[in-house]
């Protein structure tokens, strides 16, 4: 196992519309720490470019525990294990100045040569025996859609400028595709600033489980489908799938969870009836939910 520690500072430009550091910022900082860990173990930028390596994200998952503001000093503890098939299994904890866990991110990626299909063995003399935890939130399989509710659809094109230095869409950009899907859902349901204030209810993004089944290509038209798996008291379990036109197999899949929060009290709360009314047609499993 490789371990590495690094320190990072959040910025004003990292704030979202709810005045907290965005979830994508945590993944971007985690990516900085992952590359720093690689550099400390023989794979700095020059080596990566010379060997024509690409690091392809396969799975990305996170849990968010404490909100952060601009200027927050974060300690990132990074550990890396290698699976028997040469995949890179990352576990990262982002700690605040008081050593409290702010965010936990787990990632699975593979190193390949540019345009190559086979995994590259980065450290031939290191034993590769890590196993992917099966029955955990982070790596549990994302279940298929049961076609028991309506879906919200969005068509979009990928931007070439969002790729990183070795021509790959990094995990943070995959996160962005899903975040845009969530925003589109709220827009389609008419959940805006006025509605949030009227119902004294907002929603905080608390965790995600993202599968990247096929690398996204630049200038690629994609179809995104979103629905609500279930509502469990104060939690909403959200699902998204992204398809290439005319194909039935999703290239990106997600299971995310959001917590309802009272605007006035800044505390978790059950959703207002108006939220249920707007979401009802898009809820896959409706047990215990009534209009």
Q: What is the pLDDT of residues 244-284, one digit of tens each?
A: 999 999 999 999 999 999 999 989 999 989 999 999 999 99
Same fold, 1-136 and 141-291: yes
User: Taking 80 as the threshold, does the pLDDT of residue 17 lie above it?
Assistant: no
CATH classification for the domain delimited by 1-136, as one of 3.40.50.10310, 3.40.50.300, 3.30.110.30, 3.10.129.10: 3.10.129.10
User: Considering the chain, what percentage of its residues have pLDDT values greater than 70?
Assistant: 97
State the pLDDT at residue 171. 96
Is 102 a residue whose pLDDT tops 90?
Answer: yes
- Kindly indicate the confidence band of residue 133, based on its pLDDT and cuts at 50, 70 and 90: low
Tokens representing residue 77 in the block: 């503890």
Q: Where are the domains of the chain?
A: 1-136, 141-291
| pLDDT tens digits along 191-237 | 999 999 999 999 999 999 999 999 999 999 999 999 999 999 999 99
Q: Find the mean pLDDT for residues 102-130.
A: 90
Pairwise CA distance, residues 107 & 83, whole Å: 12
Rg (CA), the chain: 20
34: exposed, middle or buried (C-beta count within 10 Å: 0-12, 13-18, 19+)? buried
The CA-atom distances, in angstroms, between 240 and each of 78, 112, 117 are 28, 27, 27
CA distances in angstroms from 132 to 125, 140, 214, 269, listed in the order given:
21, 10, 19, 35
Residue 140 CA to residue 158 CA, distance in Å, equals 27
**Does the model's pTM come out above 0.85?**
yes
CB 119 within 8 A of CB 112: yes
Is there a contact between 262 and 201 (Cβ–Cβ < 8 Å)?
yes
Token digits for 203?
A: 């929603």
CATH number of the structural domain 141-291: 3.10.129.10
How far is C-alpha 119 from the geometric centre of its chain's CA atoms?
A: 23
21 pLDDT higher than 90: no
């Amino acid at each position: 196992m490789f371990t590495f520690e690094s320190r990072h500072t959040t910025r004003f430009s990292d704030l979202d519309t709810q005045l907290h550091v965005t979830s994508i910022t945590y993944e971007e900082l985690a990516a900085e720490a992952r590359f720093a860990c690689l550099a400390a173990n023989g794979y700095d930028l020059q080596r990566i470019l010379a060997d024509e390596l690409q690091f392809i994200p396969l799975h990305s998952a996170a849990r968010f525990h404490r909100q952060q503001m601009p200027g927050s000093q974060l300690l990132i503890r990074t550990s890396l294990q290698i699976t028997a098939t040469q995949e890179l299994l990352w576990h990262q904890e982002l700690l605040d100045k008081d050593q409290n866990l702010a965010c936990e991110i787990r990632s699975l990626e593979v190193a390949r040569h540019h345009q190559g299909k086979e995994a590259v063995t980065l450290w031939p003399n290191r034993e590769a025996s890590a196993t992917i935890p099966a029955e955990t939130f982070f790596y549990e399989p994302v279940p298929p859609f049961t076609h028991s509710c309506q879906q919200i659809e969005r068509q979009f094109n990928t931007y070439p400028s969002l790729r990183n230095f070795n021509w790959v869409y990094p995990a943070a950009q995959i996160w962005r595709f899903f975040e845009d899907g969530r925003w589109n859902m709220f827009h389609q349901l008419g959940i805006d600033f006025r509605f949030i204030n009227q119902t004294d209810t907002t929603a905080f993004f608390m965790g995600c489980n993202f599968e990247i089944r096929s690398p996204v290509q630049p200038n690629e038209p994609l179809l995104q489908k979103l629905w609500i798996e279930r509502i469990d008291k104060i939690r909403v379990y959200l699902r998204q799938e992204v398809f290439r036109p005319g194909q039935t197999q999703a290239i990106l899949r997600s299971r995310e969870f959001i917590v309802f929060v009272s605007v006035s009290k800044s505390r978790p709360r059950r959703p207002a009836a108006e939220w249920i009314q707007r979401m009802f047609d898009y809820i896959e499993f409706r047990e215990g939910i009534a209009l």
